Each structure stands twice: as structure tokens, then as C-alpha cells.
Amino acid sequence: MAMYLLYESSSGYGLFEAHGLDEIGQNTEAVRSSVSDLSRFGRVVQLTAFHPFESALDALNQVNAVSEGVMTDELRSFLELNLPKVKEGKKPKFSLGTSEPKLGSHILEATKIPCQSNEFVLELLRGVRLHFDRFIKDLKPGDLEKSQLGLAHSYSRAKVKFNVNRVDNMVIQAIFLLDTLDKDINSFAMRVREWYSWHFPELVKIVNDNYLYARVSKMIDDKSKLTEDHIPMLTEVLGDEDKAKEVVEAGKASMGQDLSALDLINVQTFAQKVMDLADYRKKLYDYLVSKMSDIAPNLAALIGEMVAARLISHAGSLTNLAKCPSSTLQILGAEKALFRALKTRGNTPKYGLIFHSSFIGRASAKNKGRIARYLANKCSIASRIDCFADGATTAFGEKLREQVEERLDFYDKGVAPRKNVDVMKEVIENLQNKDEEGKEAVEASGKKSKKKKAKGEEEEEAVESEKKKKRKMETEEENEKSEKKKKKKSKSAGGDEETDDGLTQSKKKSKKKKSKSEE
């Protein structure tokens, strides 16, 4: 039977035919030893066809499809064009070797081409990868390395660059740090208790909380200086006036030894560090709650932020948790107990991390396993909604929580719970109604804004028309004034002309008289 090899390079798809495999051996070790020799490997494996990628974006899309085990249309047309055609009803006389088993199964389902992916095929593909630049004649030296580098950068960037607000890696790091801080704060607080107890041993029995103990020890400093003036300050810290008075009385009759000023400064400094760590732990918890509302709001609404974050952290990511079946999610965190039970053939564990949820603690002993199975089912639904839904909402998580409450009532009182189908339909209808109301509100606001704009435009038009009227009146008044001025000027000009005519006539008469007298 002939064998073809499909090689996905950074520059395109390559189809190779492997014939005469006896020359390099049928077992994996023989192929591994002969792959490095191109003279032997080149006689067995020959290039049949090569399909280059059109662009860097096309290469990225093809590689993403191959990594997910999906055959693209380009790959299908390439294989159908270059592989031998198989008649209907007959078995093919060749097989196709692929590096990805998922891709091979998809090719088999879509095209009925038999595919195989084993160590023998992988060694042959390793030889193809080693001598690929020798098979492709048009490749220039350095082109293959450049395409590999560019595709590697774009592929890794696309894998890492998801939605920034939904990066579940931040939740994983935050929950690990939160657990570490809890251990460190406990151990440091115990050290503060032991250290300060040499000076004031009675305070341990009065103040039980570690954080309050650190604050009180920081405030008291030297027990010999304790007076009734410290009672208001101690009351603010402890929240109880009786305890504050008890601390003051115990300080007056304390059996502890006196410490030097330097020792008290060290104790105070260490107590302040413990207080700072406790304050940072509160801020980190608030940060974790806010991140969980963005990443997995439904899962957090169902079982709480801490348990949801621990599940995501243990699974590795929200996507991995969504892929887990509910039976796996139920015992997530109890792997040691599970394998020990399988080894000893004992009873398998009923719950893992979800035991920290309040639902299992509220159930009776005989119903703990039932409610754990039911809760794991709802957690699986919530994680898948959070992982694959476009918008973030807590509506599904709240309804799933109501279903778990109803199941608890069913186990205790026998009240029949609602079906999951009806509850999900109700949530979807409510979300659709909210979307429609939001659209109507947006449209109404748009209409109001349009009306306001229209009113504003009308007012502007009215103002402009009034301005135009005023301008017309002013221009008309100016025209009338100018006409009156012109008339006055014309009248004055006429009088001047008459006076000029009289003067000329009188001059003419005087000239005539002078001429007559001369005669």
C-alpha cells in the first residue's frame, strides 16, 4: 500500500510520496538512523505537490485550523487534487500520514481518505522537516527561517492575546497568592503572640483574633503605661468597652516581664508588618471578587468567588474547566483519594473542591453525595456559559443557585423542583425582554433628543428670522436717511447754481456799461 505524507510548513502545504520503505527499514529505530542521510531518504520520500500560502494571515489561519484538528477548504481541495482518486464502493490503495491525529480523523470523516499517525509516520515527517529546503527548489536561503519566525510570532501572539478583561491567569495567580498570604499571616501572627506574650501574657486570652491582637499590641506598646485614658482607643479597636477595660485591668496586674525599648520597637515593627499583610490580603480579595465578576460571573454567583477561583485554578483555565464533564468537576481536587480508592478497591470520593460550598454542608449526611453530583452538574453548565457566552451576566448563575436551593428543599421536604429546561427558557426570555427594553429606551432617548434638536432648530430659526427682520428695518431706515441726505444736497446744489447765474449776468451788464461809456 502506498503512503503519502502531509507536511504543514510555515510557507505552505507539502504532499510527499513514500515508496520503497524497505530501503530505510520498517521499524522506527531504523528510520530514525537513516533520516539524517539525504541520499538514502531522498530515494524513498519524494515531493508530489506543494501549495504555498497566499499571505501571512492565510498561513496563520491554516495553522490555527491544523492545531485545532480542522481541515480547511484549501487543504481539502489540495488533497483531492493531488491524491489518487478512489472509485465509489472500493477501498483506497493508499494511506495519508499526518502529524496531528485529530486532523487525520477529520480528513477521514470528510473525504474517506484513510489516515494514520504513529511513531513511524512522525519519524518520516521529521526527515521531511529536516530536508524540506532541499525538496523545494524555488526557496531562497533564509526564506524558510523568516517565514517560520514570522508565523511563530503571530501564532503565539494570537494564542496569548485574548480579551484583556477575561484573562483567567490573573485569577489563578491571585488565588495562589491568597492561599500563601493566609498561611504567612497565620504563622506571623502566632510569632507576634509568642513574642509579645513574654511582656503581656494575659492579652492572648482576652483578644483571640490575630489581626486585632497585632493592632492592640502595637497600640499598647509598654503595659506599664496602660491607664484608663487608653480605654476609648482600645474600644475603637476591639469594638467592646468591657474588653477594653479588661485589657487595662490585666495590664496593671500582669505577670509578664519588662522589655527594653529596643525589644518593644522590634515587636511593634513586626506587628505593623502583620497588619500591612492583613490589609493587603483584604485588597487582594476585593480584586479577586472584581475579576471573577468579569471572567466567570455565573460560576461565582452559583458557588461563590473563592470556590469558583479554586476550580479554575485547579483545572488550569476557564476553558479547561468548561471542557470537563460534571463527573470530573465533582471530584476535582480529590485526585489522591480517588486513585487510592481505585487502588485499594474502596469507596471513591463524593466531592472535591466543591465541598467548600455552603450547599453540601447544609445537606444531610445521606444526601451529601446527591447534592454534590447535582451541584457539579450546575457548575459545569455555569462554566460553559461563562466561557462561551458573548456578554457577561449573572442571570444564569442566580437561577442555577435557585435550582440547587430547590433541590435541597426536595431532599428535605419533598417539594418538587422545576425542570432545568423551563428555568433556562425563563432566563433567556428575561434577557431578551431586557434587551428589547434597552433598545426601546435608546430609541425613546433618540426621539427625545431629536425633538429637542427640532425645538432648538425652530428656536434658532425664529431667532434668525427676528434678526433678519431687524436687519431689514435697519437697512430701510439707513436707506431713508441716505435719500433724505441726497435730497438736501441736491437742493443746496440748485441754490448755488442760481447764485452763480446771477453773478455772471451782473458781470455781463457791467461789461456792456463799460463798453458804452468808452464809446
Residue carrying the nine cell digits 479554586: 310
Q: What integer is the mean pLDDT of 89-94? A: 81
Residue among 504, 131, 169 at smallest CA distance from 317 = 169
Q: Give the span between the Cα atoms of 95 and 19, in whole angstroms.
A: 12
Burial, 106: exposed, middle or buried (Cβ in 10 Å; 0-12, 13-18, 19+)? buried
Q: What integer is the mean pLDDT of 195-199? A: 90
Domains of the chain: 2-160 (3.30.420.220), 170-286 (1.10.287.4070), 296-430 (1.10.246.90)
Q: Give the span between the Cα atoms of 413 and 277, in whole angstroms.
A: 46
What is the model's pLDDT at position 455? Answer: 67
Q: Which residues of 461-476 are buried (b: 16+ CB within 10 A; e: fewer)?
A: eeeeeeeeeeeeeeee
Q: Check: CB of residue 207 under 8 Å from CB of residue 216.
A: yes
Amino acid at 473: M
Coil vs helix vs strand at 13: strand
Q: Report the half-sphere exposure of 54 (CA within 13 A, side-chain side).
A: 5
Residue 318 has pLDDT above 70, yes or no: yes
Cα Rg, the chain, nearest whole Å: 46
Residue 468 has pLDDT above 80, yes or no: no
Amino acid at 153: H
Residue 218 has pLDDT above 80, yes or no: yes
Residue among 156, 216, 213 at smallest CA distance from 186 = 213
Coil vs helix vs strand at 49: strand
Mark out the alpha helices in 258-367 (DSSP H runs): 261-295, 297-303, 305-315, 318-323, 326-330, 335-344, 358-362
pLDDT per position as a tens digit, 407-442: 999 988 888 888 989 989 998 898 888 878 877 776
CA distances from 10 to 57, 135, 249, 431 (A): 11, 15, 80, 45
Q: What integer is the mean pLDDT of 87-114? A: 85
Q: Give the span between the Cα atoms of 400 and 29, in whole angstroms.
A: 56
Cα dihedral 409, 414, 415, 421 in deg (nearest 10): 90
What is the model's pLDDT at position 503? Answer: 44
Largest Cα span, the chain: 172
- Whether pTM > 0.95 for this model: the answer is no
Q: Give the span between the Cα atoms of 389 and 259, in whole angstroms.
A: 62
Residue among 168, 456, 486, 104 at smallest CA distance from 319 = 168
Which of the four pLDDT bands, split at 50, 70 and 90, describes residue 116? confident
Q: Give the span between the Cα atoms of 280 and 15, in whole angstroms.
A: 59
Residue among 402, 368, 385 at smallest CA distance from 321 = 385
The DSSP secondary structure of 331-344, one letter per residue, reads TTT-HHHHHHHHHH
Residue 20 has pLDDT above 70, yes or no: no
Residue 301 has pLDDT above 90, yes or no: yes
Q: Give the span between the Cα atoms of 189 and 192, in whole angstroms.
A: 5
pLDDT per position as a tens digit, 142-152: 788 888 888 88
Q: Give the span between the Cα atoms of 288 and 180, in whole angstroms.
A: 14
Query: How many CB atoms are closer than 10 A to CB 200?
Result: 23
Which of the four pLDDT bands, split at 50, 70 and 90, describes residue 447? low
**Of 46-50, 99-103, 157-161, 427-431, minimum mean pLDDT range:** 157-161
